Amino acid sequence: RLHRINFFEPTPKAVRCLCYDESIYRLAVLRADYAIEIWDMKETPYLEKVIQGDDSISVEALSWCNGRLFSGGLHGYVLEYDMNDLQSKNQLLVTSGCPIWCMAVNEKRTHLAVGNEDGHLNLLDVSSEEIYFDRKFDNQEGAILCLSWHKDGLVIATGSLDAIRTWDVYTGHVINRIMLSRAAKNTPTVVWCIAILRDMTLVSGDSSGKLCFWDGNTGTLISSAGSKKGDILAIAVSKNEKEIYASGVEPIIMNYLKSQSNGLWMKSVQRLVHTHDVRSLQLVGNLLVSGGDDCNLVCTKYPPKTVLTFYPYCQKTYASVAVEASCILLQYQEHVELWKIGEEKDPFNLLRIAPTEDESILCSSVSSNAKFIAYSTALKLRLFCLELNQGSDEKILSEESLSKVELPADLPSVRSLLFNKDSTKLFCLVDNTVTILDCCLGSAKIAATLTLTDSVGQIQLMTLSSDDAYLACGSHEGNVIVYSLTNLAVHCHLPHYKCQPSALIFEPLSENLIVAYTDRKVVEYNILKLAYTPWSKSSMLQDLKEATLYPITSMCISSDKLFLLDGSAIYVIDKTQQVTPAKKRIKQSEKSETALTDSSFKTITKYEHISSIHTFKDEIIFVQMPSGHILNSLPPPIWKKVYG
C-alpha cells in the first residue's frame, strides 16, 4: 500500500538566473535565496549539487568559463566557486564595490565583462587560474543592467536606462548609442536584456514590453515585435541564430524566426508553461530551459511537443524514516522536524531542532529507533540523543528528552549522513572520506575511516546493505564502489558508466545492488559473483529507460516489488514475475491513473510534487509537497481580464 506524507511544507524559491556551460554539460540555476543549483544536462536534467546561499552575500549574475563558475552581486566582488567544496575560492573587487548587475564571457573564454551600478564596464582576465583586472571602459550615465558579447570578441552591447550602447573592446570607447523612447514622460525605459548577433543585429527587451531589432552599425530600428502586457525580462538566441525566444512578466514564451525572403524576424509558435513572471531563458542543446517566479524549472522543445517540469524540493531526498519507532525526519533549510506516523492516529510533530546560528542545513538523518538525530550545516556536524517513551501518548516531549552528543573536535561539516540498521553507527561523508562514528549516549567516537582515491571522483550517494556488511558509494563521474565493512576495504568496483548514478539501493536479503543512472538506465549487480544479474538485461528496463526524460531520483523495495520515482510518476516492478520481451503497449486514456504495458511494470501518475519514496515496514510511504502550500507561497500573477 502507498501512504502519503503531505505535511512537508518548505518554502520554494524563485529562479533568478540561468547559465549553461556546454563544455561540461552543466547548468547553473540561481534562486532567490542566493543558492546556486548545479544541474547535469548531459542526458536528462539532474540536480547534481547545491551551493548554499548566504543573505549577506548577494548574487545577481552568473557566468561559466571552461568549467569555472563566476558570480557577482551587490557587494561588488566577482567570486569564483570551488565545485568540490561548494565554497568561493577566488574573489576580486571591481570598481570600489559598486553593485554588479550583469556579466558575460567572450567566445574565446579568456575575458569576463562585468557591468555595474556606476556605469562602468570592466574587463577581467580569466585565462589563467586566477582572476585579474584588465581594464575599465569609459564611464556612462546610469547603471549597466545587461550585456552581450559579439562572436568575434571585438564588440560588446550593453543596455541601461533609456539607452543601448555598443563598445569597442580594444579602445574602451562607445561606438554607437541608441536612445529609446519613453512610454510616459517621467518613466524611463529600462533595457532588461540584450543580445548581439553575428550580423551586428541588436535584440533588446525592455520595460515597455517591446522586443526590438536594431541595426548595430547605424543605430536604427529594423523592426519591433509589438507590445506585451508586461516587461520583457529574458532573451535566448539559438546557436545558429535562426531562432529567438523572449518572455517576461507575461509568462508566454514567444518564438521568433528569421524570414528567408526579407530577413525580418517573424513571430512563430508560443509556449505557456509558467504561471508567473519568467526571469531567465537558456538554450541547452535542443531544450529551452526557463525559470521564474513560479519556482519551477521547465524544459521544453518543439517539435515534438515536450514539456518537462522540475518542481522545487522534488529532486533530492529531504526525509529519512525511523522504521522501528514509526517516525519520519523532515529536513528544511532552517530546521529539522521529527513526526510520529502510524495508522492508529493522525501524524503529529514530536520536535523541531534548529541551529543556534543563522545556518543552512545541508543533510540530515535519523536512526531506525529514532534514538539519534544528526544534521550538518556548512560549519559543523551536530548529533542529538532522543529518549522516546514508547508507551506514552504525549505529543510534546520534555526538554530532558533531547540531549546533545559530543563529537570529535576535528570533525568538519559533512555532505551526506547515514545510520546503519541497528542504530549504532553513523556514516559521515566528508569530501571523499567516509568517517564511521560509534554512537553512544554521551559522546561519539571515530570507529573507522574509509578513504576513496581521487580517480573515483567526488562521492555523492551512499547506501547500506540490509545486514550492514557492505557500503555502496556513487560518484559524479559514473563510478560505483562497494566497501566491505568487515575488513574496511574495497570489495568491488562496478563497471564504469558514462553517466553518474542518481539512486542506489541494496535488495533485502540478497547481495544484489540496484543502480539507477541519470539516463534512466537501471542495472542490478551481484557483488559476490561480480557480475550483472540476468534481470539487468531484460527488455522491460529498456522500456523504462525510454518512458520519459526525467531522471530516477529515488528507489525503495517492499514485498519483492521495486518502486522507482522520477519527476512524473512512480514505477512499480514486480521482481517475482518472469520477465519476457515486450511486444505491444496497451493504449490507455489520457486521464488514466495507471498505464500497463507488456513489460510487467505499472506506472502511477496521479500524484504530483513527490519528493521521495521510502520503505515503511511492509508498505511504502512517499513525501509530497501540498499544492495549496506552493500556491500560497507565490506572488500574485499578472492580472488578466476573463470574459464573463
User: Mind spelling out the 3-state secondary structure of 299-343?
Assistant: EEECCCCEEEEECCCCCCCCEEEECCCCEEEEECCCCEEEEECCC
User: How much is the pLDDT for 97?
Assistant: 77
Cell numbers 546557436: residue? 239
pTM: 0.93
Alpha carbons 462 and 480: distance in angstroms, whole number: 10
Angle at 264 between CA 259 and CA 269, to 5 degrees: 60
Please state, as a whole number, how many other Cβ atoms lie within 10 Å of the Cβ of residue 166.
22
Alpha carbons 627 and 271: distance in angstroms, whole number: 23
User: How much is the pLDDT for 395?
Assistant: 60
User: Residue 182 above 90 pLDDT?
Assistant: no
Which whole number is the average pLDDT over 395-420? 81
- 281-294 tens-digit pLDDT: 999 999 999 999 99
Contacts of 561 (CB under 8 A, 6+ apart): 572, 573, 574, 575
User: How much is the pLDDT for 343?
Assistant: 65
Alpha carbons 217 and 196: distance in angstroms, whole number: 11
* pLDDT: which is higher, 86 or 454: 86
283 with 289: CB under 8 angstroms?
yes
User: Which of 107-111, 346-350, 548-552 shows the lowest per-residue confidence on average (mean pLDDT)?
Assistant: 346-350
Please state, as a whole number, how many other Cβ atoms lie within 10 Å of the Cβ of residue 520.
23
Phi, psi of 627 (to 5 degrees): -65, -35
User: How much is the pLDDT for 582?
Assistant: 41
Cell numbers 580569466: residue? 126
3-state secondary structure 365-380: EECCCCCEEEEEECCC
Instruction: List the beta bridge partners of residue 598.
Output: none
Cell numbers 576580486: residue? 92
Alpha carbons 129 and 252: distance in angstroms, whole number: 41
213 with 226: CB under 8 angstroms?
no
User: How much is the pLDDT for 598?
Assistant: 46
Alpha carbons 21 and 256: distance in angstroms, whole number: 24
Strands 306-310 and 287-292: unpaired
- 565-616 tens-digit pLDDT: 998 899 999 887 766 544 444 444 444 444 444 457 889 888 888 999 999 8
**Residue 233 is which amino acid?**
L
Contacts of 297 (CB under 8 A, 6+ apart): 15, 29, 39, 45, 289, 290, 291, 309, 310
User: How much is the pLDDT for 584?
Assistant: 43
Give the length of the chain: 644
User: How much is the pLDDT for 497?
Assistant: 93
Average pLDDT, the chain: 88
Domains in the chain (CATH in brackets) are 16-237 (2.130.10.10), 238-310 (2.40.10), 314-451 (2.130.10.10)
Distances (CA, A) of 123 to 100, 111, 172, 366, 460: 13, 7, 10, 50, 36
